[in-house]
Amino acid sequence: MDQITQPDFSAIKAKQNAAWSSGDYAIVGTTLQIVGENLAEAMDLRSGQKVLDVAAGNGNFTLAAARRWAEVTSTDYVASLLERGKQRAETERLDVNFQLADAEELPFADASFDAVGSTFGVMFTPNQNKAAAEMLRVCRSGGKIGLANWTPEGFIGALFKVIGRYMPPPAGVQSPSLWGTKTRLEELFGDTGSDIKITERDFTFRYRSPDHWLQIFRDFYGPTHKAFGALDADARASLSEDLLDLIARNNVADDGTMVVPSAYLEVVVTRR
């Protein structure tokens, strides 16, 4: 019988860190702020609650929670993204604790937080079960875990598939888009979460044109930036064509701009 080889999660995370550190994700991330605001409302965050943002990126959920007078700890394993979040918080005079941390090994005691959230962040961890277990561990009984995850069928899910044709994912690692499915969420949180509420939403990408979106994602969005950097000229041209074709199939604008809805799941888990 063939022995199942466990993926080298440490090596995979090192490569992911390099990818998300490349470009400048915050340029893209700030356009997603409304998702953090909606998630904070869905979780019914209250003033004085201890809130943890996991894989916070440049801090969209962090800022949303802090604007509601929560005591927020913002974490990510990419130091440059935490710095961008810190700059945003300081500009708004929001009191937030920023801490470098791996979503799969959170440096906090059990039941430390009233609420734990992540918008398009924790879904990219290579060891999905461990990341979910860590979110459950640090959330108190009766607390809430909130997530915003791209679906496999949506625009960003399709984007991952296009990139995957040029840059195949590491062997043995499950697709991040699985976090955008009811079945996988129940596997990750069903045993411990007393209630899982799932709402399908759309985030709409609004850019000056399809070419403008392509430039921004090529220059600043880690996975796309790394893919273009690793390919030769012919493959880069082919990838550009495939991405523009993807936009054309989803663009609802008829004035030359880009208006593309992308489905995601808004998830609120109540911790048993």
Whether residue 45 is contained in a domain is answered as: yes
Whether 100 is covered by a domain: the verdict is yes
Domain assignment of residue 215, yes or no: no
Q: Is residue 143 in a domain?
A: yes
Could you report the average pLDDT of every consecutive run of 10 residues in the chain (272 residues)? 62 74 86 98 98 98 98 96 97 98 98 98 96 98 98 97 93 92 96 91 98 97 93 98 98 98 98 94
The pLDDT value recorded for residue 2 is 42
pLDDT at residue 233, as a whole number: 98
Identify whether 216 is part of a domain.
Answer: no
CATH number, domain containing residue 112: 3.40.50.150
Give per-residue pLDDT as tens, 114-144.
999 999 999 999 999 999 999 999 999 999 9
Q: Is residue 90 part of a domain?
A: yes
Task: Tell me the DSSP string of the chain.
Answer: -PPPPPP-HHHHHHHHHHHHHSS-HHHHHGGGHHHHHHHHHHTT--TT-EEEESS-TTTHHHHHHHTTT-EEEEEES-HHHHHHHHHHHHHTT--EEEEE-BTTB--S-TT-EEEEEEESSGGG-SSHHHHHHHHHHHEEEEEEEEEEEE-TTSHHHHHHHHHHHHSPPPTTPPPGGGGGSHHHHHHHHTTTEEEEEEEEEEEEEEES-HHHHHHHHHHH-HHHHHHHHHS-HHHHHHHHHHHHHHHHHH---SSSSEEEEEEEEEEEEEE-
pLDDT tens for each residue of 14-57: 777 777 776 789 999 999 999 999 999 999 999 999 999 999 99
Residues of the domain holding 121: 9-156+170-206+263-271
The reply to whether 219 falls in a domain is no
Please indicate, yes or no, if residue 232 is contained in any of the structural domains. no
pLDDT for the residue numbered 5: 60
Domain count, the chain: 1
